[in-house]
Amino acid sequence: MSVELGKETVRVSQVIGENTAQTIVENDIIVPDTKPDVANVLVLDGDVFIKNTECLQGKINISGTINYKILYLTDEAPKRVKSMESQSDFSYSMDFVNVREGMSCRADCGIEYFDYNIINGRKLNVKAILNITAKAACEDNIHIVSNVSNLEDVQVLEDNVKVNVYLGETESDVAVNEAMEIPAGKPPVKEILLTGLKITNAGYKVSDDKVAVNGMLNISTMYIADNEEENIQHMEHEVPFMQFIELPGLTDNSYCDMFCKIVDSNVEAAEDSDGELRFINIGAGINIKIAGFNLQSFLTIKDAYSPRNILNFEKSKFLNEYMMADENSPVNIKEILSVDDNEPHIEEVFNILSKPMLIDYAVENNSLSVEGLVVNNVLYISDNEEQPVCCMKKEIPFSQKINLDTADENASYRIRLDVLHNSYSIVSPSEIEQRLIINVNVKAFGQNEVALVDNVVENPVDESVLANQPSIVIYFAQPEDTLWNIAKKYYTTVDAIKAMNNMDSDHVAPGQQIFIPKRAS
């Protein structure tokens, strides 16, 4: 009767690889007929949205859209501040080793830098440098061998392995619709200039077979006031959202890999009961993707043999990825922003647009050192009639050390930077004090290699070798020896060696004298 292996089937999502790339997207933007000519661009900003990712043989195809937001001064007297928006589609093919058609993949994209050139008053050429990160995974079933049967006097060396059991992936769309009132003390809206939407404080709570996702949708609105001065105003609102998503197999001990992204939005001014535009109606679609995992321990066979049979194991390797840490660390920044000597002085600041960027990170002594940069666009009213509205661009470098007990150079890290707080005060006509809180979120992922037994081939022991073996072998342990390896080498058992040598434990020291009995026929 042949040897039989007892196996347990486990569903996993094996990481195939992760890759990063940069690409440049260039586009011409035509000023809409309803907008006046462009004299000077104050702010070129925007958002990038991934629309589709697809795994093909040896590559991942990524497609998306860039939404450009442009704030500019008009080419007329008096100069006025206007805005316009435009969209540009892009696609990118990223080479990926070992990726095959049908595998799952996920991509994230950020804008590193914008540049522009005013062709004429009705046309701009814009360039965006995009940073793209993609990750590919393959859903599979692995088989963990837990026992060997149909073999006489089999000796088994067991091991405990941790495997990230994959429960599956699901997604859900959330519609956020809210009528937001303009704060008391601020004038009504004449024209909306710029809006910015971002998701903050996104989190989840797991229960049996479901996960509750919650977060805040932050809406930043810059508008021209409907008053005599027609001055520029800025305000922020927050709208909470929550969604329950079902995923069979989830328990209180599960963890989830969660991605939330804004997929569409619409912002418009609305009237109150007096006919004034004192409401902002927001409609936004949020897509939530959840992948569920259970980190479980399995008892498996590391090695096995029989004093009467030689067992040759056919093995393969599985790369198991699991989350080691999910930490938030706020960074407090206070900085003086100074107007350049050739720039007009400040009379009034109406907004600072701040975007944090990750520059680099490194693992140092159980901690992760993160270096970043806050890119600021300071919009202000100047004391210069020829240049009444200005934009001062300033960068603030920052660093943060995050203590991680699990910090490892071989781990992979997903780092996200968000602005939690942004305020300022005018110190002098040429200086602004800015106060920021940047949240650094770090997700650390470790990997361990799990050896899987695929098959075992049984061959009988050469009896002539055993016949020539002395009744007792005196052996002196070598530095790398274990009692298991010694017993296997001499076709005996660990228990037989321990009994002959009056040993209480399996530990052997280098140079230790060990008596090894001959296997009984």
At 59-72, the pLDDT tens digits run 999 999 999 999 99
Q: What is the pLDDT of residues 434-483, one digit of tens each?
A: 999 999 999 988 888 888 888 888 877 777 666 677 888 899 999 989 99
- Identify whether the C-beta of residue 397 lies closer than 8 Å to the C-beta of residue 372: yes
Regions of the chain short of the pLDDT cut 70: 1, 407, 464-467, 519-521
Q: What is the pLDDT of residue 465?
A: 66
- The Cα 275–Cα 263 span in angstroms is 32
Instruction: Give the pLDDT confidence score for residue 385 in this predicted structure.
Output: 77
Q: Which two tokens stand for residue 351?
A: 């907004």
Of the chain, the end-to-end C-alpha distance in Å amounts to: 21
Of 379, 427, 41, nearest to 231 by C-alpha is 379
Greatest CA separation found in the chain?
Answer: 110
List of E strands, 31-150: 38-56, 59-74, 81-95, 104-120, 123-149
**Domain ranges across the chain:** 175-290, 325-444, 464-517
* Total residues found in the chain within this entry: 521
Alpha-carbon distance 226 to 36, whole Å?
A: 19
> Can you give the pLDDT at residue 521?
54
Residue 450: half-sphere exposure toward Cβ, Cα within 13 Å? 28
The CATH number assigned to the domain with range 464-517 reads 3.10.350.10
Alpha carbon distance 58, 93 (integer Å):
10
* Tokens found for residue 220: 């930043």
The C-alpha atoms of residue 194 and residue 72 are separated, in whole angstroms, by 11
pLDDT for residue 520: 58
Structure tokens at 251: 């328990």
User: What is the CA angle 307-152-484, rounded to 5?
Assistant: 40
Q: How far apart are CA 86 and CA 358, in angstroms?
A: 26
